[in-house]
Structures are given as structure tokens and as C-alpha cells.
Amino acid sequence: MKIALISPVAWRTPPRHYGPWEQFVSILADGLVEEGIDVTLYATGDSITKGKLKWVCEDAYEENKDLDAKVCEYMHISEVMEHACE
């Protein structure tokens, strides 16, 4: 079984500080991997996971104010859709 999980790109997954959704996705992804499931996590490039990591935004936009939040979000969602057939 293959599962893709989409984490927000506001914060790294798992978050360094605040980031309840990113924390939840991190726990879920790592737990599924430990159960032997093939997990791909779509998150920021600096994220940490036991599964495969795919990203288009290297940093979280809340941690790098030079990034445009909406551009990051749209690029992130677009990357997921491009790989949906996998």
C-alpha cells in the first residue's frame, strides 16, 4: 500500500516550535512507516520523516519571510497533483 500525506508548508514537519497540523502529520507518517506502509510526505524541504520526502519549498514560509505564502501553497499543492498517479 502507498500513502501520500500532505503537510502544510507554513512550518517544518515536525515543527521546531508551533505547528499542530505539521506535528500531527509527522506522527501519522512515521507511525505508518513503522507499520510497513510506503509513505510519501509532501512538506518543506527541511522536514524530517521516516518516509520519502517530496518538496518544492525548501523552507517554511513562516520561518522565511522572503517567501510568499500563497505561492508556496500553490506550488506545494501542484506538486502533489503532478504525482497523484504514483
Query: What's the pLDDT at 36?
Result: 98
**Alpha carbons 17 and 5: distance in angstroms, whole number:** 21
pLDDT band with cut points at 50, 70 and 90 for residue 78 = very high
**Alpha carbons 6 and 40: distance in angstroms, whole number:** 9
Helix, strand, or coil here: 42?
Answer: strand
Q: Where are the domains of the chain?
A: 2-82
Instruction: Report whether pLDDT(86) > 90.
Output: no
pLDDT band with cut points at 50, 70 and 90 for residue 68 = very high
**Position of cell 510506503?**
38
**Position of cell 520561518?**
63
Q: Summarize pLDDT for 1-33 with one digit per residue, the tens.
A: 999 999 999 999 999 999 999 999 999 999 999
Helix, strand, or coil here: 40?
Answer: strand
**Alpha carbons 62 and 11: distance in angstroms, whole number:** 6
Q: Summarize pLDDT for 31-49 with one digit per residue, the tens.
A: 999 999 999 999 999 999 9
